[in-house]
Amino acid sequence: MTENKIKGKKLFLVGVGPGSSKYLTDVVKDVIKRSKYLIGYKYTLAIIRDLIIRDFHQVYEVTMKDQDQTYNEVYKKMQDSEFCTIPFTGDVNFSESEVVDRLLEIFGDDNVELMPGISSIQVAASRAKIPLDKTRVLSFHVTENIEDGKRELVDAIQDKKSVVLVPRPWNNRDKNFMQSEIALYLKNEGIDTSNLTVWVFEFLTTPEERVFRGKLNELEHMYFSPMSVMVIDQVERKTYLDFE
């Protein structure tokens, strides 16, 4: 936390890890402990539940529909020098910008501090042993149009890059872009999906964690939880011995 900036209302947008509270960093724990106001979705509040002190914290559970009203209410209610923390799943800097940008609008950039967490993307990369610097990372978990992202996905696969992505679980079936839609889309784009290795990780870092490993075409008729990350594995391992 940047101590010299504690004048005014202070909002912390923090990553709390993708599931297990063991992925919470100490700096994030510190600001949660010092924040009178905590606002979050059910899932993220559950990750930090052991840090909530009944007599001190004012906790607001929000949904996608009512969040805007609560953000505005709390902003108005807060006094100078008071802290509010909003926990985000995984890393606040990955696939959260539609909410983060709105909070920057309400609170103003100078009153907001972002604190990174460990993303589901990083955990998936670790499980699959894929170096992120040689991987295209994509999020389809966005409200905006995903056509450009779909093109990027095709290009990355054709460039022999690995891909780590979060799919798009939408209520509207036409907008869904889950594992089965991804497999069919790539096949229609002329990619040999029977030859590509994929991993699907569900409920990472929780007791329900599950993994599927197989070929991309196998996903055509498989259904996974919205809480999942997919890896297309095209890694060619190279060590420093290859470059002597």
Ligand X SMILES: C[S@@+](CC[C@H](N)C(=O)[O-])C[C@H]1O[C@@H](n2cnc3c(N)ncnc32)[C@H](O)[C@@H]1O
Burial letters 143-152, b for 16+ CB under 10 A, else e = eeebeebbee
Contact region with ligand X (CB under 6 A), list: 47-55, 102-110, 156-164, 220-228: 220-228
> Which of 201, 216, 217, 224 is in the footprint of ligand X by CB under 6 A?
201
DSSP 155-181: HHHHTT-EEEEE-B--SSTTT-B-HHH
- Contact 213/224 with Cβ under 8 angstroms? no
**What minimum distance in Å lies between the beta carbon of 82 and ligand X?**
26
DSSP 8-state class, residue 40? E
Strand partners, 23: none
Q: Cβ closer to ligand X: 43 or 56?
A: 43
When asked if residue 204 is in the footprint of ligand X (CB under 6 A), the reply is: yes
At 59, list the tokens: 């906790």
> Which of 12, 19, 28, 87 is in the footprint of ligand X by CB under 6 A?
19
Could you give the 3-state DSSP secondary structure of residue 135?
strand
Beta strand 197-202 with 210-215: parallel, antiparallel or unpaired? antiparallel
- Contact 69/39 with Cβ under 8 angstroms? no
- Contact 147/44 with Cβ under 8 angstroms? no
> Which of 14, 115, 166, 216 is in the footprint of ligand X by CB under 6 A?
166
Kindly identify the residues of this chain, within the stretch 79-138, that bind ligand X according to CB under 6 A.
88-91, 94-96, 119-121
Q: Cβ closer to ligand X: 9 or 168?
A: 168
When asked if residue 182 is in the footprint of ligand X (CB under 6 A), the reply is: no
**What minimum distance in Å lies between the beta carbon of 5 and ligand X?**
25
Q: Cβ closer to ligand X: 35 or 120?
A: 120
> Which of 14, 229, 231, 232 is in the footprint of ligand X by CB under 6 A?
229
> Which of 141, 181, 196, 224 is in the footprint of ligand X by CB under 6 A?
141
Cβ contacts of residue 74 below 8 Å, gap of 6+? 37, 39, 60, 84
Q: Cβ closer to ligand X: 8 or 169?
A: 169
When asked if residue 18 is in the footprint of ligand X (CB under 6 A), the reply is: yes
**What minimum distance in Å lies between the beta carbon of 77 and ligand X?**
27
Interatomic CA distance for residues 112 and 114, integer angstroms: 7
Interface residues with ligand X (CB under 6 A) are: 18-19, 88-91, 94-96, 119-121, 141, 166, 201-205, 226-229
